[in-house]
Amino acid sequence: MGNDKDNPELKREKMRQEELKSPSGSFHGRNLADLVGGVNWKFTGIVFLVIIIGGVYFLLKFNPPLEIGTIASSEDNKSVVIGINNNGFCDVKILDVSVNNNEKPLETKLQVSNALQGFILTDDFKSEEAKAYGFTNIKEVVIKAGTSSNEETSSKDDEIYGVSVIYKEEINNVYIEYSHFGMTFNDTVYFNNY
């Protein structure tokens, strides 16, 4: 019993002193990586990155950028124009336009006009009066980010966009499929709700 090396109380006291000297060895001094079971910082960074990307995805998906403005139709509802604005972060590209039960319209064009001139409702995109309204193929134009219809500050330099559709029968609704920030969105515009 005279040997201090064999005394269990002295051994415990030496171990406790060593733990106090190196904080990573005790629970009180462990860092975050030690507390989560030795998870390295690369893995933690990847988890945070996935959470941020997921948050941005849901923010964009539940906040579509395309805003419907002007809605006009002819008396027989065979020709319509829908004003659209892009309130998103980047340009919008229209992918497809269909009517009623996802039927292909006879003709679909995009009017690229200015805020002072407005849109024209026509059943002939090649007429003399329609030429001033900048009818172009839908797939050739992108709707620039930040376009908005503010009539108080409108000028001739402010571009506005209108989807013009001609169909052989009465148009009850128009489906617009578009892409923004690499994601696909769909909007439906209803006519004749009553």
pLDDT in tens, 151-162: 555 566 778 899
Q: What distance in Å separates the CA atoms of residue 187 and residue 68, rounded to the nearest whole number?
A: 9
Give residue 45's pLDDT.
Answer: 84
| Termini Cα distance of the chain | 102
Residue 79, pLDDT score? 94
Tell me the Ramachandran region of residue 110: left when phi exceeds 0, alpha when psi lies from -120 to 50, beta otherwise: beta
pLDDT digits (tens, 9 = 90+) for 51-61: 998 888 787 77
- Decide: 135 and 164 in contact? Cβ < 8 Å: yes
pLDDT at residue 63 tops 80: no
Chain centroid to CA 31: 39
Confidence label for 25 from pLDDT (cuts 50, 70 and 90): very low
Is the pLDDT assigned to residue 109 strictly greater than 90? yes
Cβ contact 105:99 at 8 Å: yes
How crowded is residue 91: how many other Cβ atoms within 10 Å of its Cβ?
A: 17
> How much is the average pLDDT of 34-58?
78
139: nearest Cα among 169, 105, 94, 100:
94
- Rg for the chain (alpha carbons), in Å? 32
